[in-house]
Structure 1
Amino acid sequence: MLGVDFDLRQLRYFVAVAEELHFGRAAARLHIAQPALSRRIRALEDELKTPLFVRDRRTTVLTAAGEQLLADARDLLAAAEAVHRRVTAAAGAKPVLTVGFMPGIVVTPAVRELARHRPDVGVRLLRTSWHDQVAVLHDGRVDVGIVRLPVERRGLTVRPLFTEPRVVMVPATHRLAGEESVSITELAGEHLLQDPDAVPEWRDIAVELRAPGRPEVPRIHSVEEKLELVAAGAGISVIPRSTAMFYTRPDVIGIPVPDIAPNHVALAWLTARRSPLVDAFLDAAASLVPGSITTS
């Protein structure tokens, strides 16, 4: 499907837009101007002779061709990155550890701790999402991930780090927006913009799950997109407190829900690919967490 002169940078641009579903956010993530990004995507669509996105003034969604390219593009980029890392390692270049992390988690202290003990190691960071935090481990894009549980543990070793409370995100105009905290029962009549299994306490009492024809939950690729939907009044979402604090905006309010179970944060890596570099990062991350941490 791709021409021999296909540019991997162009592919990375496409993936950024596909994951953000917003040209402005994707441009900011890539550190390029939005018009330049739009030209790159149009050039890619011209080369492939098919539209990859359907866009209007308010929304951007993937076409069927775009969905297929996104699935393939991640594998292509991961393979290219793996080749680069193997070649540089063979050339005796400075070893590099790639760390994946979920939104709201601050990785800098662990990176600084690693640098203090292993100044010979370079670190790259990759922000992940609920949809790919495990995939990036399996396809080699990252060596170790700071993940939010639950995850599919097949082939992985998972080491707990810490837990944190979760909050419900509602529009600033919502009836509950002024409350210091809410009970899960007060959310029974709301529409949840995520898999109900992610909030079993809500699932057990939800009105809409007991009515015929539950409203469809759109596939959401990023926290930013989720908060856009909340702000627009499309529903509510339950997210970790640190994520809510990181993505502060005036039109969306986070309210503590004491009777929702906390989010569990953990380190994860492929059991078959554990290495001295991974061990060094595990030690650096564990030193920042109070108490003893044991491998599961």
Structure 2
Amino acid sequence: MDLDLRKLRYFVAVAEEFHFGRAAERLHIAQPVLSRQIRSLEDDLGAEVFDRGRRGTLLTPAGEQLLEDAVPLLASAQALVGRVKSAAQGTQSLTIGFMPGITLTPAMVAFTAHHPGVDVRLLRTSWDDQVAVLLDGRADIGIVRLPIDRQGLKLRPLFREPRVVMVPMGHRLADRTSVAVKELAAEHLLQDPNAVPEWRDVALELQDGRRLAVPVIHQVEEKLELVAAGAGICVLPLSTATFYTRPDVIALRVDDIGPNEVALAWAAARRSRLVHDFAQAAADTLARPHTEEQQPSTHY
């Protein structure tokens, strides 16, 4: 059976809107046409993907699985079309994913000096999608922050840098130049505890089983807004904290926390010479002596 990508796009629209009428408007098609296409997709799959009950349009377990797989598949198909069109037009392009706080300019200058005709594009990523954009083809190569799931990827280490804890102005520790992890044991961490194992091992809210729910956060700006409002603390790489300067949030060195490691990553299946050449340019220009001994300023 061959999956129809158009039907998948229709399905994703309904799944995101949770409403056939709104999805039809978004897709600029009639609602009966959309309903028939979804029924056809369900026939193709041999499974119902929506529960059309009194509670509205909800995903079935099969639909949840389809949504998880369909989004990267559609992104990969779109990236493929873009690469084929570029090749047909006799042009080359390279899309580079990058995490907040990482400056790509030196690597881009070095790369474009040897490849002046290549269309270099940048794609800002987050902790949630820095790997996905590589596997689905939206980015050809990425500068990622570890740890990540390395399956299907090739990695090349670049550097490591200190991490700092972000606290609001007026916090009990705000006048300090550095803190120890144990002094953060009573704080609420606005991120996955596994991302900061040193805090996880001493956190009172985890030991007492009273950890508050953390809202879904996709951007650094959102984390810092919550920190400034007194909702909790977060731990960031030094360069990220420095990039997102604001007067109501303070960065403190944490003496006994491990550094963040930065690396190049790309899909193992890719054989592009441009990917190899950019990786070399990045290694030559970005792998500077960035060590955990560097000291952050107290205030940002």
2:182 maps to 1:162: no
Q: Match for residue 148 of structure 1?
A: 145
Q: Distance in 2 between matches of 1:117 and 1:222?
A: 34
**Offset at residue 80 of structure 1 (A):** 2.1
- The structural deviation recorded for 1:269 is 0.6
Picking from 101, 104, 107, the partner of 1:110 is: 107
Indicate whether 1:266 and 2:287 are aligned. no
Which residue, out of 86, 93, 97, partners 2:94?
97
Shift of residue 271, structure 1, vs aligned partner: 1.1
Q: Secondary structure, in 3 states, of the residue corresponding to 2:235?
A: strand
SS at match of 1:116: helix
1:228 partner letter = E
Relative to structure 1, is the Cα distance of residues 247 and 74 closer, same or farther in structure 2, using a 3 angstrom cutoff? farther
Q: Which residue of 2 aligns with 1:279?
A: 276
SS in 2 for 1:287: helix
CA RMSD of aligned residues (A): 2.9
- Of 77, 84, 87 in structure 2, the residue corresponding to residue 86 of structure 1 is 84
Matched residues in 2 for 1:70 and 1:250: separation? 41
| Distance in 1 between residues matched to 2:88 and 2:280, nearest whole Å | 26
Residues 46, 252 of structure 1: alpha-carbon distance in 2 compared, 3 angstrom cutoff:
farther
Query: Which residue of structure 1 lines up, in the alignment, with residue 136 of structure 2?
Result: 139
Q: Which is higher, the Rg of structure 1 or of structure 2?
A: 2
TM-score of the aligned structures, taking structure 1 as reference length: 0.74
Picking from 237, 243, 248, the partner of 2:234 is: 237
Letter aligned with residue 214 of structure 2: V
Aligned 1:19-98 pairs, distance under 5 A = 47=26, 75-93=73-91, 95-98=92-95
Partner of 1:251: 248
- What is the aligned residue count? 242
What's the offset of the Cα at 1:216?
Answer: 1.5
* 1:213 CA drift (Å): 3.2
Query: For 2:76 and 2:173, how far apart are their aligned partners in 1?
Result: 44
2:35 maps to none
SS in 1 for 2:261: strand
CA displacement at 1:257 relative to structure 2: 0.6
Aligned equivalents of 1:253 and 1:204: distance in 2?
Answer: 24
Partner Cα separation in structure 1 for residue 140 and residue 204 of structure 2: 42
Q: CA deviation at 1:124?
A: 0.4
| 1:223 equivalent in alignment to 2:220 | yes
Normalised TM-score (structure 2): 0.73
Q: Which residues in structure 2 correspond to 1:122-133 (within 5 Å)?
A: 122-133=119-130
What residue identity is the alignment partner of 1:263? N
C-alpha change, 1:46 and 1:273, in structure 2 (3 Å) is same
Aligned to 1:203: 200
State yes or no: 1:178 paired with 2:188: no
Q: Secondary structure of the equivalent of 1:272? A: coil
Gaps of 5+ in 1: 16-42, 50-63, 292-296
Query: Residue 108 of structure 2 aligns to a residue in which SS?
Result: helix
Q: Deviation digits for residues 14-52 of structure 1, max 9, x if unmatched?
A: x9xxxxxxxxxxxxxxxxxxxxxxxxxxx8796479xxx
Q: SS at 1:190's partner residue?
A: coil
Residues of 2 paired with 1:206 and 1:265: CA distance? 26
Percent of counterpart pairs with the same letter? 60
